[in-house]
Amino acid sequence: MTATGASEGVGARGAPVEGPWWWARWRSAALDVFLAAASAVECVAEGIGAAHEAQVPVLLGVVLGLLAGPVLLVRRRWPVVVVLVSIAVMPAEMGGLLSVVGLYTLAASDVPRRITALLAGMTVAGTLMTTFLSLREDVAAQQDFHPPMWFVPLIALAVGLVLTAPPVLWGLYIAARRRLVESLRERADGLERELSLLADRAEERAEWARNEERTRIAREMHDVVAHRVSLMVVHAAALQAVALKDPEKASKNAGLVGDMGRQALTELREMLGVLRTAEGSAGRGAAASGAPERLAAVASQAGAKATGQARVSEPSADGASASSAVADGSGSEAASPVSGAGDTDAEGPCLTELADLVGQSRAAGMAVELTVDGPAEEAAAEDGPAGEGAPAVAGRRYAARVERTVYRVVQEALTNVHKHAPGARARVRLAHRDGELAVQVENGPCEGGAADAGLPSGGNGLVGMRERVTALGGVFVSGPTEAGGFRVSAVLPAARPAID
């Protein structure tokens, strides 16, 4: 750091050095050369006059002026030196421009303010003394002029303040303005860096949101389609096994396969329509974050319609009745209108549809049992819609997201039983506890005589279940049992549905 507070490679205003030596710009160098030349001329002229008055050789006054005047060349580098030289030549009554410019440069520099105040006071004192002595001699030389005693000191003080205060105050103002500009520039640079960082973070968050949305949509499509397609494959395998032995049962299975296929196509068509609508809303600036929930609603509605069709087709004695039930749309649930997707709180499957879900797996040949523990068991009916004494789960008692997650966990777990443990017995347990809702799906070992349906596995089922449960603050556990089966358990906070 120099006396001006500037670094060796930086100009007085913090700009990179482009001029010669210590000057930041060539323009600054030219200005200082001009001021130094003017000061040298002034000091030489005043030195000649001082030499005559002091009766010393004129050459001495010229040399003194040539030495003192050009000191302004270093005013940006060493402003203290310039002020000290101006104070030193005050007794010779020379260096007026040198003193004014030196004080301004000193006040505008980064020199500590106590040093500035000290040198300014010395300049005032020197100017006061030289002016007082000069005025007293002039007054004494005039015989007819007798001013009061306070006249000479007052004029000397006024001259000292007039020659010192304006350059100091102007320099302090310039220094304050420079500091303000520097602070504003630094703040602008900081804000620009922060905006750039925020833009990067916003882009990262947007990318994360897009990936999260893709994951949610893929998980929803996997859950609502894989289950029905798996049942189709199971029924097709059963059809192949009994085609020659039991034509009546084969016809029934063929009807069920057709039903499941049409249901899967309906769900896919509805989901693709929702995705197209969400994309159009996003293009118009609307939020499309509710697409997975709408997908869940569409799947639930299609599932309810399919369940009604399946109930009509099961008692049929031949396979034709199953096809006619689908074609005519008979059954109370099949004829019910599809509710709008705008009711976000009621969208998606609920606990009341668990019995139907279990009944579909039972119709595919799985020995599955549904039990309900807790307060809701009292309100359950003795005979569920799936028949065989299966308890009916009470109406919606929890938030839509909670009930939808429980439904998807049971659905995916039963699908995995169809895939990996054909012929195994399964048990679905739903427990209503204080402040939480627990569900467990456990199956025994695969029976050796059961035919493997050859269902492919993508390995996304357990991952999707875990993501769903943990997203609601729940706990998910899965793993093999000691008996050789597999168990899936989930515990979720029992959030109550919103009341309008």
Per-residue pLDDT tens digits for 267-277? 777 766 766 66
DSSP state at residue 20: S
The Cβ-side half-sphere exposure at 83, using a 13 Å CA radius, reads 28
Q: Which residues of 133-161 are buried (b: 16+ CB within 10 A; e: fewer)?
A: eebeeeeeeeeeeeeeeeebeeebeebbe
Tokens of 53: 């008055």
pLDDT at 241: 67
Average pLDDT by consecutive 10-residue portion of the chain (500 residues)? Answer: 42 55 83 90 86 84 87 89 89 85 90 89 86 79 78 83 89 91 92 92 90 78 71 72 73 76 74 63 47 53 50 38 33 35 54 88 86 64 40 63 90 86 89 90 78 59 87 92 92 71
* b/e per residue 447-468 (b: at least 16 CB within 10 A): eeeeeebebeeeebbbebbbbb
- pLDDT for 259 equals 77
pLDDT of residue 1: 39
State residue 277's pLDDT score.
Answer: 64
Q: 3-class DSSP state for residue 419?
A: helix
Q: Which of 44, 45, 47 is nearest to 70 (CA)?
A: 44
- Other CB atoms within a 10 A radius of the CB of residue 87 amount to 19
State residue 475's pLDDT score.
93
pLDDT of residue 439: 94
Whole-angstrom distance, CA of residue 242 vs CA of residue 240: 6
Outline where 314-399 has alpha helix (H): 319-328, 332-335, 354-363
Give, in degrees to the nearest 5, the angle at Cα 140 between 136 and 145: 105
pLDDT of residue 298: 53
**Kind and range of the H or E element at 436?**
strand 436-443
Question: If 0-12 CB within 10 Å is exposed, 13-18 middle and 19+ buried, where does residue 96 land?
Answer: middle
Give the pLDDT confidence score for residue 233 in this predicted structure. 74
Report which DSSP code applies to 340. Answer: P
* Pairing assessment for the beta strands 426-433 and 368-373 based on DSSP bridges: parallel
Task: Find where tokens 């096809």 sit.
Answer: 323
> What does the alpha-carbon distance between residue 386 and residue 358 come to, in Å, rounded to a whole number?
7
Residue that has been written with the tokens 């309008």 in this structure:
500
Say how far apart CA 333 and CA 331 lie, in whole Å: 6
Q: What is the pTM of this model?
A: 0.47
